[in-house]
Structure 1
Amino acid sequence: MNRKISTWIIASFLILLFSVTAMTSCTRIDAGHEGILVKLYGTDKGVQDVSLVTGRVWYNPFTEEVFQFPTFVQTVDYAPFTVNAKDGSVFTVDPTMSFRVMPGESPRIFSKYRKEIGQITQTTLYNYTRDAFRIQFNQYSTDSIISNRQSFEDKVQKALGDALEREGFSLEQMTSGLQYPEVIVQAVNLKNKAVQQAMQVENELKVAEAQARKKIVEAEAEARANELRQRTLTPLLIQQQFIEKWDGRTPLYGNSPTFFKNVQ
């Protein structure tokens, strides 16, 4: 009887152990990920030369482990850092990068770095980003960076893209968040202010010139009108205007009444 009970207990334990092992030795690779099978023992102790497709994966939890690498586009916003230009000016870079793991490259990436994608992003990819900016900054002076910013950023992105591609990553997009030195910002602001003041003075000068021309035209018109009036204002015309406005009373000029005043 005791033997049967012992057998039943052992069998139950084995069934339970098998069930637990079965549940822990199966995993599902999520969509947008690549699964890689890692052997924990042996001479290779690395990644099996197969990329596991999306779906369920069976493995031995005692000697193997499965990791998932996302293959969708990821975006990382790195902390700002400073870089020196060729002439010593200090620029601040606040980069944002979008990248993805190239299809089939997960085993090689894990075999080389033995880290998950989050750790690789914050260490290896960050170092590649800093180096790409540092190398390009060392080839440009401050003036050339400002006057050729688009060309500069294109070269940084190409250099970073080539470096990441060699490591199994594809660079989708990169923004530098480039910030100029404070001295340059102040100089640009002063220059813009001077230009604005010059434009304001020029506009005021144009207004003054226009007003002066207007006064000249008005004075010339008034002088012309006076000249015409003097030419047309004859004694006969004055007498006619006097008669038209006469009220019937004889005006007094001097000591005796006189009908017309001599205007010559």
Structure 2
Amino acid sequence: MKQKIKFLMMALVAMVVFASCERVAPNYAGVFMENYGKEGKKDFSIKTGKVAVWEWGTELFQVPLFDQRGKFEKPVTLKAADNTEFNAQPSYSYKVIKERAIDVVFDNKHIGSGDDFMSSLEDNILEPRIYDLIKEESRKHKTDSLMADGGSLIFERRLEQIIDKEFLNRGLQLLTFSAQLEFSKKVREKIDSRNEVNTNISVLDQQIEEQKKQNELERLKTEQALITSRGLTKEILYKRFIDKWDGQAPLYGVVPEFLKITN
């Protein structure tokens, strides 16, 4: 009887141990924590295959190594440098850097585990940080520059660089980012009106410059005419007449004095 009870107990223990094993899924990094992580990162290790998690203080974090996508559920309100309000609804994609999987778990284990670990990371860590970075960067740009041709693209590229660096510090690789800026109808109409005024001013400036050039040209022509007229002595006029006269064509009217002299 005792032998049978002993066998049943061993079988029960084996079942408990077996049931307390987890298998690291394909394309996941298995980050194993023991001793409740009290000794810091040295209590964390990478595991593959089946991992026993029946001991107290142990936990297996399954960290996906494939692309993750996130998007703000609601638009966030931002302010430009000229205090104009506009909205953004960022979307992004990223993945965990395999060699940094332990860092990702160690830094964020307090926010949750299991299947909700990555979504919890996005909701509680990544998106609040993205919002802070966008808010800080938006204060460096004026509405005109943001709404100008290519302005929002320049803004997004700058943000992507900042967020890429932030993600890298957290063991993540940023793949794509889009801020998706949106301005109110009132702001768009205001900017369109201002652009129209600026265009008209630009046209007027060109016309003014053109008129200045015309006036300058007329002045130069007048000065040239004066200089030429002052330099036309009788002798120069006589020479020009002789150069043009063939010596045979009859002369009518008043005969120039120099012809009388030559005669």
Shorter-chain TM range is 0.5 to 0.7
Alignment-derived partner of residue 153 in structure 2: 150
In 2, distance between residues paired with 1:23 and 1:131? 44
Alignment-derived partner of residue 58 in structure 2: 64
Pairing 1:65-214 to 2, within 5 Å after superposition: 65-78=59-72, 79-114=74-109, 115=111, 116-147=117-148, 148-187=151-190
* Deviation sequence 1:216-247 (CA, Å, 0-9, x none): xxxxxxxxxxxxxxxxxxxxxxxxxxxxxxxx
Select which of 9, 20, 23 maps to 2:19.
23
Cα RMSD, aligned residues only? 2.5
Distance 1:65 1:42, change over 3 A: closer
Superposed displacement of residue 45, structure 1: 6.2
In 2, distance between residues paired with 1:41 and 1:189? 60
Distance 1:45 1:59, change over 3 A: farther
Superposed displacement of residue 14, structure 1: 2.5
SS at match of 2:18: helix
Distance 1:14 1:71, change over 3 A: same
In 1, distance between residues paired with 2:170 and 2:193? 46
In 2, distance between residues paired with 1:80 and 1:43? 40
Q: Larger helix proportion, structure 1 or 2?
A: 2
Larger radius of gyration: 1
SS at match of 1:9: helix
SS at match of 1:105: helix
Question: TM-score, normalised to structure 2's length?
Answer: 0.64
The one-letter code matched in structure 1 to 2:144 is D
Question: TM-score, normalised to structure 1's length?
Answer: 0.64
Superposed displacement of residue 145, structure 1: 1.2
In 2, distance between residues paired with 1:77 and 1:101? 17
Q: Is the 8 A contact 1:39 1:46 kept in 2?
A: no
4+ runs deviating over 2 angstroms: 40-43, 45-53, 55-63, 185-193
In 2, distance between residues paired with 1:42 and 1:152? 41
In 2, distance between residues paired with 1:36 and 1:130? 29
In 1, distance between residues paired with 2:136 and 2:36? 41
Alignment-derived partner of residue 232 in structure 2: none
The 10-residue stretch of structure 1 (12-21 or 169-178) with the greater mean CA deviation from structure 2? 12-21
In 2, distance between residues paired with 1:132 and 1:63? 36
Alignment-derived partner of residue 37 in structure 1: 32
- Equivalent pairs counted in the alignment come to 188
Q: Is the 8 A contact 2:167 2:173 kept in 1?
A: yes
Pairing 1:228-243 to 2, within 5 Å after superposition: none
Structure 2 residue 52 is matched with structure 1 residue 51:
no
Structure 1's unaligned 5+ residue stretches are 194-264
Superposed displacement of residue 192, structure 1: 10
The one-letter code matched in structure 1 to 2:19 is M
Aligned residues with identical type, % of pairs: 19
Q: Is the 8 A contact 2:87 2:182 kept in 1?
A: yes
In 1, distance between residues paired with 2:5 and 2:30? 38
